[in-house]
Amino acid sequence: MSITILNSTHRFRSLCRLQRIRGQMQMTSQAGAEILVEKVGNAGVITLNRPKALNALNMNMIRLMYPQLKKWETDKETDIVIVKGAGGKAFCAGGDIRAVTEAGKIGDALAKNFFREEYILNNTIGTYQKPYVALIDGITMGGGVGLSVHGRFRVATEKTLFAMPETAIGLFPDVGGGYFLPRLQGQLGLFLALTGFRLKGRDVQRAGVASHFVESQKIAALEKELVDLKTPSIEDVSRVLDSYQKRSSLDAEKPFVLEQHIDLIDKLFQSNSVEGIVHNLKTDGSPFAQKQAETLAKMSPTSLKITFKQLQAGGTMSLQEVLVMEYRLSQACMVKGSDFYEGVRAVLVDKDHSPKWSPSTLKEVSEQSVEDCFSSLGERDLKL
């Protein structure tokens, strides 16, 4: 009887929190559009406009952005699309995960719809028929990576901070992470996915996440030059971006932050299991390996195993196949396990950074439980 009352109370609180979040979203929408859409010459310009929330992507923004991109793709008077973030601090710091977790706790449809519609938007960007330029000037994580990395042109600046930190919140590097991460050099993608390691500035381009590096103070001039292009081809846009990159010498003399560790990463992260990687790190004994072992020990063991399998599979899949797989994983994290809710609580809500993972060790995470997360959802599978 008492358990029933506790569950009802828990659901009621989650419902209240979700209503509060939705109310804040509506207030934001009324106070000022969360997506600014402009037509400048032959260019379509989208500005993510939630600067106080570091332009975190919510459902309203997805539902504004998707039809606009589809419209411009077939519009004869739109030749190029530019996407940027407002406020100077972030392009997009991630998805609005708090709203999704509150919805998931009470079985609200937002938990299904958010991931579904976000991934459809990611696929639209990945298959876009016109030059798509993401100006990732500032924090670019999670959902923000999904809005940029699949586009043809991704312009980093010295203010860019890239990471896929999902294993720390009981999730996995989604938004097509299973597609682009395994395609980075050697084991770099797997390293970034499991550890959530942060890349900054020019290193984002050196790693292959960004296509170009341009100094932040030159971004306004770059944007003007791009919108002034008459019927630009991919080559025209490429030429402009290349010329700005050549004129951006900031940090050019600094080596890639992971340069001295790349061979070690390739060696230590080459394994057929997460346990194998942890064993490699512990036996290596170098300060770098020790630090990575400590980092992995803090992550959700379930997330680490899901992420490992996701990247293994994604390396030979198309973007569409990866997104279908990741939608299955997103729903498994929402329904089958508790780590996602516990991770969000520890990192984003209570901020005590002491999650209680369940299971708490890699050994306790069965291969079958991981396999089940990849199972088809039948009629509920993502359709692209």
Cα separation values, 136 from 98, 112, 149, 210, Å? 23, 28, 10, 8
User: Encoding tokens for residue 11?
Assistant: 């659901």
Cis peptide before 359 (omega within 30 of 0): yes
Write down the catalytic residue from 95, 151, 176, 189.
95
* Residue 44 annotated in active site: no
Catalytic residue from among 108, 174, 203, 326: 174
Of the candidates 166, 203, 223, 342, the residue annotated as catalytic is 166
In DSSP terms, which residues pair with 83 in a beta bridge? 46, 134
The three-class DSSP label of residue 273 is: coil
For residue 23, indicate whether it is catalytic. Answer: no
The DSSP string of 281-343 is HHHH--HHHHHHHHHHHHS-HHHHHHHHHHHHHHTTS-HHHHHHHHHHHHHHHHHT-SHHHHH
The single residue of 143, 176, 201, 343 carrying the catalytic annotation is: 143
126 is catalytic: no
Least Cα distance to 303 among 353, 343, 266 occurs for 343
Strand residue runs (E) in the chain: 35-40, 43-48, 80-85, 90-92, 132-136, 139-141, 153-156, 161-163, 199-200, 212-213
| Residue type at position 150 | H
Cα 266 from Cα 281, distance rounded (Å):
12
Residue with tokens 């798509």: 132
> Is 143 noted as a catalytic residue in this protein?
yes
**HSE, side-chain direction, 13 A CA sphere, residue 266:** 9
The residues annotated as belonging to the active site are: 95, 143, 166, 174
